[in-house]
């Protein structure tokens, strides 16, 4: 007995047509556009939906991977942290449509080629001490589990490597210290003081004040480092 196929209702057809039109527009306008053209919120949203689908309001890990591939930046590159900071993203690995539109409007980017032209700017803010301090503080809340006030030690080590690994001569030793320490989490006070320590304390620790107001974590690091250096010498 032949099976009769159900005809799609006009509503279903309209929905499919709309999704196809949005997807087509995103492919056309999201990937490339005239970099001299005025910013378009409509084009910016269409670009967002290239990575999420027409009816979704959150760009997740799968779409993020494709987005990074398209703009030519590795997901682990610090420039992605700078972009997330500009967007005011709340959760690592996710951009909401509202975050995307707010941040991309500020950057005046409504397509891939415009954002690629802003990558040097996003890198340059990392070299500005004041802006970098804001990004560094932002990274703590961005990366920690939202149901925890502290950051687990493995995430902390990875984030510290990202933000300080290339700029702090003692980072290798500090990472080694954390590896063998009893610490399971890093709180925000410790996190912020690590940056201050990296900026103000000399590599030989000669200006470290044992009676200063540093967290116990850093007192223990200094003690460990001096013992470790003495043993190696």
As a whole number of angstroms, the distance between CA 223 and CA 51 comes to 49
CA-nearest of 230, 231, 137, 223 to 177 is 223
What pLDDT, on a 0 to 100 scale, did the predictor assign at position 117? 96
- For each of the domains in the chain, give its residue range(s) and CATH number, in order of start: 41-127 (1.10.238.10), 130-231 (1.10.238.200)
The bridge status of strand 58-59 relative to strand 95-96 is antiparallel
- Region for 136 from its dihedrals, namely left if φ exceeds 0, alpha if ψ lies in -120 to 50, beta otherwise: alpha
Torsion of CA 107, 110, 114, 119, to 10 degrees: 50
CB count in 10 Å sphere of residue 75: 12
Reading the chain (233 residues) residue by residue, the pLDDT tens digits are: 333 334 444 443 454 444 444 444 444 444 457 777 899 999 999 999 999 988 899 999 999 999 999 999 999 999 999 999 999 999 999 999 999 999 999 999 999 999 999 999 999 999 999 999 999 999 999 999 988 999 999 999 999 999 999 999 999 999 999 999 999 999 999 999 999 999 999 999 999 998 889 999 999 999 999 998 877 76
Place of tokens 């007995």: 1
């Amino acid at each position: 007995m032949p099976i009769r196929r159900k005809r799609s209702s006009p509503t279903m057809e309209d929905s499919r047509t709309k999704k196809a039109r949005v997807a087509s527009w995103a492919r056309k306008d999201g990937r490339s556009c005239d970099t001299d053209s005025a910013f378009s919120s409509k084009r910016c949203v269409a670009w967002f939906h290239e990575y999420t689908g027409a009816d979704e309001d959150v760009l997740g890990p799968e779409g993020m991977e494709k987005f990074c591939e398209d703009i030519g930046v590795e997901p682990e590159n610090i420039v992605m942290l700078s972009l997330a900071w500009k967007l005011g993203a709340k959760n690592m690995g996710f951009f909401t449509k509202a975050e995307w539109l707010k941040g991309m409007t500020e950057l005046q980017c409504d397509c891939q080629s415009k954002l690629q032209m802003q990558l040097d700017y996003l890198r340059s803010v990392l070299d500005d001490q004041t802006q970098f301090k804001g990004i560094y503080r932002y990274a703590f809340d961005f990366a920690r589990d939202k149901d925890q006030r502290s950051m687990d030690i493995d995430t902390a080590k990875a984030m510290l490597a990202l933000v300080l690994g290339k700029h702090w001569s003692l980072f290798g030793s500090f990472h080694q210290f954390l590896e063998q320490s009893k610490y399971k989490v890093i709180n925000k006070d410790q996190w912020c003081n690590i940056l201050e320590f990296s900026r103000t304390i000399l590599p030989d620790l000669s200006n470290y004040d044992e009676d200063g107001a540093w967290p116990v974590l850093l007192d223990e690091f200094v003690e460990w480092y001096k013992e470790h250096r003495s043993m190696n010498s």
